[in-house]
Amino acid sequence: MKNPVFTGAGVAIITPMYEDGSINFDELGRIIEDQIAHHTDAIIICGTTGECSTMTDEEQLAAIKYTVDVVNHRVPVIAGAGSNDTDHGCALAAKSAECGADALLMVTPYYNKTTQAGLVAHFTAMAEAGGIPVIMYNVPSRTGLNIAPETALELSKHPLINGIKEASGNISQVAKIAQLCGDELNIYSGNDDQVVPLLALGGKGVISVVSNVKPELVHNCCKAFFDGDTAKARELQLEMLPLAGALFCEVNPIPVKYAMNVLGWEAGECRLPLVEPSEAHKEYIEKALRAEGLITE
């Protein structure tokens, strides 16, 4: 049995940036403190939501090290360290582990893709280079590549491959992974609209975008489920849906970064090729924030 890296709601945290596009570390620190104060169960830094794909390695490692130092062991820190180049991913994994991350989040190879046998070789090499627990990230809509349940089973045999962030949206696939892997692979939802369904299949939590704007909502949803109050968990899951819809109305993290700016954080703009949301979507996002009581004026 592999103990999960965390249970509950981990925030896929944004990376705030100045007008010139450089990382606003002071604001990142403030956001981290606010997340911990509102009961976030883990910080996931430099994931998709953190815009790792447009960061240099130096920026990415600086953000990871800064987060580790600010968090100071209060909650687990999971560092995005994946790549579609296995050698590059291995180097990034080793350096992220040296920064003090508790675990690594590793996406499947994108664009060049690979076979299922290639996935086994890819994740095995990166896990061994990092030397700390790994959560695989399965998001076929972005990568064009799916981790098959049988491949997840093979990878779960590796002592360092601890979990999978499942963002395929395919509940049947998640059920098959749970059935095959049991306690050898911890499952986390990668979709805020499917938290409770995944927990019902034995999942350990969610890596959440919604947690950026309302961490206590997602934390409380998971806690209610684990406490046996499934009615409350269901109620909070359904409450989450309008926010999830708004925060995914355009490519993540465009909407959530806009939402954080609206809420008074100095999130800044996304780096190109991501641009501001459309005017219609700005109104949609603001309406969802207002309905949730996050905007009161």
List residues with catalytic annotation. Answer: 137, 165
Q: Tell me which residue of 134, 122, 123 sits closest to 96, measured CA to CA.
A: 134
List Cβ neighbours of 238 (8 Å cut-off, separation of 6 or more).
none
Helices vs strands, H then E, count in the chain: 12, 8
Helix (H) or strand (E) holding 49, with range, is none
What sign for the dihedral angle of Cα 80, 64, 157, 90? positive
On whether the CB atoms of residues 6 and 44 are closer than 8 A, the answer is no
Helix (H) or strand (E) holding 125, with range, is helix 116-130
- Give CA separation, 156 vs 1, 88, 110, 124, in Å: 11, 23, 21, 10
Determine if the peptide bond prior to 273 is cis (ω within 30°).
Answer: yes
Q: Is 207 annotated as a binding residue?
A: yes
Q: Is 45 annotated as a binding residue?
A: no
Q: Give bridge partners of residue 163 from the DSSP assignment.
A: 135, 186
Q: Tell me which residue of 297, 206, 212 sits closest to 258, measured CA to CA.
A: 212
The angle formed by the CA atoms of residues 240, 241 and 247, to the nearest 5 degrees, is 90
Amino acid at 81: A
The CA-to-CA distance between both ends of the chain, in Å, stands at: 50
Q: Is 105 helix (H, G, I), strand (E, B) or coil?
A: strand
Rounded Cα distance, 255 and 270, in Å? 10
Determine if the peptide bond prior to 253 is cis (ω within 30°).
Answer: yes
Residues annotated in a binding site for pyruvate: 49, 207
